[in-house]
Structure 1
């Protein structure tokens, strides 16, 4: 299956954050505010979409491609790639694991952000586990990968965090996105064929309703209320996080 690449800097860049989504728009919906904030702080961020979202009721894989590129520019990420896996049929196979291993070794992120560990769409939980396993495998020296004739060096991210999507999963920590909610929503709405548009003649889906559009704000607002900020995005973590000190905590 084909893939496409959007790269604003250079090949084989060292990133701080690599965000994976089972479908184009997953990253924007789940952690778009966090990505926008990190970019503003000078972090190098990239996005890898596992599928083209070709089974989506509205739009096509070609419109998704254009929309994904527009969203990437809004967020300010340095690169975005699509691995062309089969939408609706993600599986934790060796083939798919190795595609992701190559991405991890290419971008060498300190932190990986991945789909929700449990969600309405079966690809989300499958994508979460697939990415998590690939992050471990990418650090094994006896797994060799070659890209364009060159061997890749092993790399294992320090952390894998999972953003929250449709289901109301209790976060283990939140990121304050108070100044970046508008940018997140703009990036989400770059997928204009997918979301609320009262003039659209396409079938209405659960994510194409006015309520879903409004949920982008009120869900972030609720997490902000619970954590003492205006708006926040929540994450779960695969391992216990150790803090050097209390700097960075919002009081």
Structure 2
């Protein structure tokens, strides 16, 4: 299946927190969208790899994602090296996305920045035909996406652009709450964490409101890009306002 957008998250729930609204908006436009989780989140304080797997599947169903895979890298210990780059290259060549979404290049969790660089490097290398990869014994064709965009996560980064997700904010939060072991789950014996309090979800909404305010909408998600986005007409960026 060729995808329009392939979103990478180093941990299950990164996508839901960082760019679910954007993916929901793209799906509503008829685009094919997939998710690749790099790790099983096995070092997370709450839950287990099995519960995270079930939660990720539930969140994908809520969003209507076409495909979701987990590469099974070691949470906390994967590296941006040839072994891991080839794993990412293989999945990029498998789905041939036009756009890749990846973790923030610098964030509270060190896995996020390391993942951002890994995915960005692999996206470039995926376009080099002399790098050979195989799927089910068949050689894969070289493929380089047109853009790699990094979604903003815990720490604020000045966005290169923002995406209006006002119509999809409620559904985004439903997808986040599919991770019942991680977010706002009272009555559990699991220890409290940075993300498990009700206040954390309020900060997610507040960030979306703050980014939305910058373009005059209710909610938005922010992205940074190293590659400059070009236009051939001002009509491409003119928005109607009331």
Residue 210 of structure 1 and its aligned partner are, at CA, apart by: 1.4
Number of aligned residues:
239
Deviation of the 1:198 alpha carbon: 2.3
1:8 equivalent in structure 2: none
Distance in 2, Cα, partners of 1:70 & 1:209: 21
2:167 matched to which residue of 1? 179
| Structure 1 residue matching 2:58: 3-state secondary structure | helix
Shift of residue 22, structure 1, vs aligned partner = 0.4
1:90, 1:37 → 2: CA distance? Answer: 31
Deviating 4+ runs (over 3 angstroms): 248-251
**Residues 30-45 of structure 1 correspond to what in structure 2 (within 5 A)?**
30-45=18-33
Counterpart-to-counterpart distance in 1, 2:121 and 2:100 = 12
Residue matched to 1:57: 45
- Give the match for residue 243 of structure 1: 231
Equivalent position of 1:121 in the other structure: 109
Q: TM-score, normalised by structure 2?
A: 0.97
Give secondary structure in 2 for the equivalent of 1:206: coil
Aligned counterpart, 2:98? 110
Aligned-partner Cα distance in 2 for 1:249–1:219 = 24
| Deviation for aligned residue 1:71 | 0.5
- 3-state SS of paired residue (1:202): coil
Q: Is the 8 A contact 1:138 1:154 kept in 2?
A: yes
Q: Residue 236 of structure 2 aligns to a residue in which SS?
A: coil
Give TM-score, length-normalised by structure 1. Answer: 0.93
Q: Within 1, Cα distance between the matches of 2:201 and 2:188? A: 15
Q: Could you say which residue in structure 2 is the equivalent of 1:229?
A: 217
Alignment of 1:128-207 (within 5 A): 128-207=116-195
- What do you get for the CA RMSD once the two structures are aligned? 0.9
Q: In the alignment, is the contact (CA less than 8 A) between 1:161 and 1:235 conserved in 2?
A: yes
> 1:227, CA displacement in angstroms?
1.4
* Structure 2 gap ranges (5+): none
Once the 2 structures are TM-superposed, how far is the Cα of residue 200 of structure 1 from its aligned partner? 2.2
Between 1:30-39 and 1:208-217, the stretch displaced more is 208-217
